[in-house]
Structure 1
């Protein structure tokens, strides 16, 4: 896999000082993903090019315990494109080989490091995966100031009738700070590939925020970038998007470009969904609220921050998720009074738990679709029958809206753990049945941008108790 970066700035050879790699010799850097070779094909005052060639041993990669794939994917560990395409492994190599340049620091040329330079970047054999990826690289890099050229690679040049592969040769041209250019590549290469060669852990959110600082928050494809970079891990995606949305809201108008000052601010779907749930809780006057299936506490954090709530309960079947929620809420540092107000319990939504009784409201935010359909009656009996709160708020994806997600194949779900995704009619059919069986009235609300024919991406049902059954 080959990446080249060319500067045509005055005294272009100073690029080597910013990169901290000597232009007169080739250097090799052993990495966890292989060996990166750095050399300069051309060095001059008018034009200077650095190249990084990443060499991967396919057998070593297959034997690496960090390589994605389990026992059921033994063959795919050996038969795949990983050693031959510019993907997350190239991003890791760039981050390690040019770490100092990526931070924007240069002791020798601080002003040059802070300046936008005329740069040209080429990346060979870039995967651009998904059912609707035409022009994806342009959508990702274009808003960042790059002129983008995507040259599709044919499946077989000898058989043009076979069409193009999912790979492109990528060329970028623009006047951009070197540190920004490296960070753009660091984030976007895994995004284009929509796959990572290593396990995506919680620190990936921090990596994304650091690499995306200054440009990702207001990128028009922010949600797509975040989902793909974080390997579609829902809890991490929600955390990252909510954090970016809050940062965007705190940005003063004077700090935005003129074109953006008059444009409406874009809220992530995760943040919009949480806003809708909080609005529903306010509408019913809830003071004691349970977040059932709370996960790692994204919504709990918002609930705890609301002084109108006198009691907040988070429940989840995963002890690991509850531990993370406790850390997120900083319960170990909380006062005794705050700990009395907030409690976390391990519990399954399909089993009755008396600790959830007596609440004003229970929230099932993006929970029901993770339950097998044949287990939904048990969920109903547990929440609407056993706990029997005054109100219940349920949100779930609207499958009719899925056609607007370019990463989804027809019939695919938004998350690999979803057991089903309902149309609006299917959701209403279920909700009406629950309301009838347990003595509730139900109201429906749209969450997110509404399409005239498909509705909104998330659908919300607000149940209010009208009688005891």
Structure 2
């Protein structure tokens, strides 16, 4: 199978710097299931083409074949182990080879030409041939939204062939790393048959390679399911995280407001209804502001949405996010773009790895703390430890706690009866249950507590989110 990458950026031979493969020196790489060769059929100042030729060893495929049916070689008995399209058509084998051979280029960094790494270049990619379970229409649906001009020419278009084959050409102006990331994710999506076992690591790969585009792609669900080999649990995890990223993506109006301090003048007359999570973050930030707090703990900060909101208000001069997940803290750091903030702003925020069910001296001395949609992720027997650590030991003057209102779940038509809103929720409480727990915690630790709802209120079921605001006596 063959992949070529061509640019007419001048000097076009800069492609070699970005790929970290010299145009004058052919190279070969052992990729386990065969050999990948990189050569340059043309390399001039006006036009440069790098070719990745993947030579798969069919015998090596059989020797390494999993018993779980991890590749097409596992179907159809002994003959199918040797007679299949895996050595000839672009599939997940090529995706793996891309990662191994051009992994440095996919990071979007170049030591020799750092200014080119983020530059939009005229690029053309050709895949000969590619297996596509879905035809030209699917190819167009996947690549056109990313800005490519797509040309797909059928190869061996026999209607009886289960998976048709296409010579695919993609043209666009974009950073090389973006093109490689799109190919890495979408090649196995087109083929819809990964050759290897898919584990939770694949979720991280998908999110990493899909950063900046997958969350907003119109075929996000299809891409996620196919990339994760239709594993329901993994797909659900990935789609939930992508939904969080999609919610965090600023609109054009928001971006203009951030840049100018004013709302865009061309905003539609009727804005779309705000998301519940936006309302929740907004109201918690308002309550913290009204309390007069200057130092705030965001306990269970997740991807940092509340911290992002608080940083916009100069009242809060010390903001600390705490989470037990290093992955979430990394996501928060990426959302906040800490490395790009001015030193003055960066000094106001800190991210800490920590468990909320244990006493932690680092959490003492703060004016306020927030636990936004956190307690329902804690096992019920551990809630008393969390209350003791937060209200008893850290003891901020004000504590804001939000949690789902179980009664409101009846309004969600797609949620099965008695089902929880999130797969990681250990429980969800009715308004009476939450108020009973909060009142007991307040009495035990010397706080007063008041309650309010967040989101659209139902006359009988209440609001989707319930909030308790604790004030130290």
| 1:251 to 2:238 alignment | no
SS of the residue 2:215 aligns to: coil
Instruction: Work out whether residues 154 and 164 of structure 1, in 8 Å CA contact, stay in contact via their aligned partners in 2.
Output: no
> Deviations for 1:364-411, whole angstroms, at most 9, x for unmatched residues?
999999xxxxxxxxxxxxxxxxxxxxx73599xxxxxxxxxxxxxxxx
Q: Which runs of 5+ in 2 are unaligned?
A: 257-263, 278-300, 303-324, 330-353, 360-373, 382-405, 422-473
Paired residue for 2:110?
A: 106
1:51 and 2:51 aligned? yes
Checking the alignment, whether the CA contact within 8 Å between 2:91 and 2:188 is kept in structure 1 is yes
SS at match of 1:140: helix
Instruction: Note the 1:38-117 alignment, pairs <5 A.
Output: 38-66=38-66, 69=69, 74-75=77-78, 76-117=80-121
1:150-229 to structure 2, matched below 5 A, reads 150-155=152-157, 166-229=164-227
Structure with greater Cα Rg: 2
Counterparts in 2 of 1:285-364, with a 5 A limit?
333-335=355-357, 342-343=378-379
Deviations 1:286-326 (A, max 9, x none): xxxxxxxxxxxxxxx99xxxxxxxxxxxxxxxxxxxxxxx9
- For 2:132 and 2:380, the matched residues in 1 are separated by 42
Query: SS at the partner of 1:191?
Result: helix
Query: Structure 2: how far apart are the matches of 1:58 and 1:266?
Result: 55
82 and 67 in structure 1: CA distance in 2 versus 1, 3 angstrom threshold: farther
Gaps of 5+ in 1: 275-300, 303-325, 346-359, 370-390, 396-469
* CA–CA distance in structure 2, aligned partners of residues 343 and 196 of structure 1: 36
Find the aligned partners of 2:153 and 2:326 in 1 and give their Cα distance. Answer: 47
| 2:10 aligned counterpart, secondary structure | coil
Provide the rounded CA distance (Å) in 2 between the counterparts of 1:265 and 1:96. 44
Contact 1:155 1:164 in 2 (8 A): no
- How far is 1:221 from its partner? 0.9
Q: 1:77 to 1:256 in 2, by over 3 A?
A: farther
Q: Distance in 1 between matches of 2:232 and 2:211?
A: 21
Deviation (angstroms), 1:201: 0.7
Match of 1:16 in 2: 16
CA contact (8 A) 1:152 1:165 kept: no
| Counterpart-to-counterpart distance in 2, 1:211 and 1:82 | 23
2-structure distance, mates of 1:207, 1:142: 22
Structure 1 residues 340 and 58, CA gap change in structure 2 (3 angstroms): closer
Residues 1:32 and 2:32 aligned together: yes
State the TM-score, normalized to the length of structure 2. 0.55
Mapped contact 1:61–1:67 kept (Cα < 8 A): no
1:118 maps to 2:142: no
**Alpha carbons of 1:368 and 1:261: their partners in 2 closer, same or farther (altered >3 Å)?**
closer
* 8 A contact 2:151–2:169 mirrored in 1: yes
Distance (Å, rounded) in 1 between the aligned partners of 2:141 and 2:82: 32
Q: Is the 8 A contact 2:127 2:167 kept in 1?
A: yes
CA–CA separation in structure 2 for the residues paired with 1:341 and 1:135: 42
Provide the C-alpha distance between the structure 2 equivalents of 1:77 and 1:212, rounded to a whole number of angstroms. 32
Aligned partner of 1:436 in structure 2 is none
Aligned length: 306
Give the deviation of 1:68 after TM superposition. 5.4
Contact 1:118 1:175 survives alignment (8 Å): yes
Q: Could you tell me how far apart the structure 2 residues matched to 1:164 and 1:339 are? A: 50
Return closer, same or farther for 1:152/1:216 CA change in 2, 3 Å cut-off: same
Q: 1:162 to 1:228 in 2, by over 3 A?
A: closer
Find the residue that maps to 1:10 and give its secondary structure. Answer: coil
The higher-RCO structure (CA 8 Å, 6+ apart) is: 1
Q: CA deviation at 1:137?
A: 1.0
Contact 2:117 2:175 in 1 (8 A): yes
Cα displacement (A) at 1:248:
1.5
Is the 2:133–2:163 contact (alpha carbons within 8 Å) kept by the matching residues of 1? no
Distance verdict in 2 for CA 1:264–1:24, change over 3 Å: farther
Distance 1:62 1:367 in 2: 44
1:217 is paired with a residue whose SS is helix
**Residues 261 and 243 of structure 1: is their aligned pair in 2 closer, same or farther, counting only changes over 3 Å?**
farther
Q: How far did residue 25 of structure 1 move?
A: 1.9
CA-to-partner distance for each residue in 1:233-263, whole Å, 9 max, x for gaps? 11111111111111121222246799x9869
> Conserved in 2, the CA contact under 8 Å of 1:88 and 1:189?
yes
Specify the alignment match of 2:418 in structure 1: 392
SS at match of 1:54: strand
